[in-house]
Amino acid sequence: MEQLSCVIIVNNNPNELEKCIKSVNVVSDEIIVVTNTHTNVPLKFEYKVKSVTAESNNEMDQYLLGISLVTNELVLLLNSSEHLSMDCQLSLIDVKLANNYWAYSIPVSYTIENKIVNLSAWKKRYEIRVFNKSKGKLRLHRMSLTWKPFNGLAKNKVLTGEITSKRFNKFSEFIHFAKQHSEIKAQYYLSNNKHTNYAKILIAPFIKFIVEYLLKGAIASGIQGYKISKIVAMSESIFQKRVMELQKGKTKL
């Protein structure tokens, strides 16, 4: 049976950490918790975990730090606000018994105010969360963490079950996150030599709302879907305006 290491980063919802660890304890042979200097987490659990503090608050840096410390080739990545379903735990046990792929995707659902919100009603969201660290590496692509094999294109298998993420207890937390994400995205956007204009500032938020609410199916989530679509549109507006400010040199990158 192959050994599995789990890396858990703690950026928000530290109170959910124990639930997260409990959901992976049965399937993980090693658990590494990566906190940051702004997160106060009392690691007094009944489970054996290794804890390390990252100097950076960037998720990519924290995951890379955790991966550098694991002793097994097979790695599972989680945020402290997430936990595995029972079906997903069983799927991971099957992976350990017969690991025939380099990477594995897991469906991810998000909750706001304790209700699951699926912004893509037409297509589930799958993320590569389990992979062989010697066969590829993590990278940042379009502001999302992805796994890329060192040689060619490797097929990944979709596991049954899901990861449930309790990212936001209130919509105000989601709004704060959206604003932070817009700032980071603006700097990333310009670093890739992309620019905006006044037409984009006016039109892009409206298009974003239509895409999220109608095309991605947020309308199926009722009032939550409407609120989220408005926040996403607002985030796009903040992003476009911030890019314009940086273009004009009002604020240094």
Q: Is the pLDDT of residue 122 over 60?
A: no
Cα 45 from Cα 56, distance rounded (Å)? 25
Amino acid at 214: L
> Which of the residue ranges 25-34, 184-193, 200-209, 236-245 would you say has the lowest mean pLDDT?
184-193
Question: How far from chain centre, in Å, is Cα 252?
Answer: 28
> Which of the residue ranges 111-120, 125-134, 186-195 would you say has the lowest mean pLDDT?
111-120
Please tell me the CATH code under which domain 4-167 is placed.
3.90.550.10
| Residue 77: per-residue pLDDT | 95
Q: How far is CA 182 from CA 142, 208, 240, 243, in A?
A: 13, 13, 8, 9
Amino acid at 129: R
Indicate the pTM of the whole model: 0.74
Cα 77 from Cα 6, distance rounded (Å)? 6
| Residue 150: per-residue pLDDT | 76
3-class DSSP string for the chain: CCCEEEEEECCCCHHHHHHHHHHHHCCCCEEEEEEECCCCCCCCCCCCCEEEEECCCCHHHHHHHHHHHCCCCEEEEEECCEEECHHHHHHHHHHHHCCCCCEEEEEEEEEECCEEECCCCCCCCEEEEEEECCCEEEEEECCEEEEEECCCCCCEEECCCCEEEEEECCHHHHHHHHHHHHHHHHHHHHHCCCCCCHHHHHHHHHHHHHHHHHHCCHHHHCHHHHHHHHHHHHHHHHHHHHHHHHHCCCCCC
Token code pair at residue 54:
């990252």
| Residue 96: per-residue pLDDT | 94
* pLDDT per position as a tens digit, 25-37: 999 999 999 988 7
In angstroms and rounded to an integer, the radius of gyration of the C-alpha atoms of the chain is 19
* pLDDT per position as a tens digit, 142-199: 545 677 787 766 667 889 999 888 666 677 777 777 777 777 778 778 877 888 999 9
List beta partners, residue 8: 33, 78
| Residue 41: per-residue pLDDT | 65
Cα 60 from Cα 137, distance rounded (Å)? 11
Token code pair at residue 116:
């699951």
**In the chain, what are the domain boundaries?**
4-167, 170-247
184 φ, ψ to 5°?
A: -65, -45
* pLDDT per position as a tens digit, 65-98: 999 999 999 999 999 889 999 999 999 999 999 9
Cα 158 from Cα 106, distance rounded (Å)? 6
Q: Is the pLDDT of residue 252 over 80?
A: no
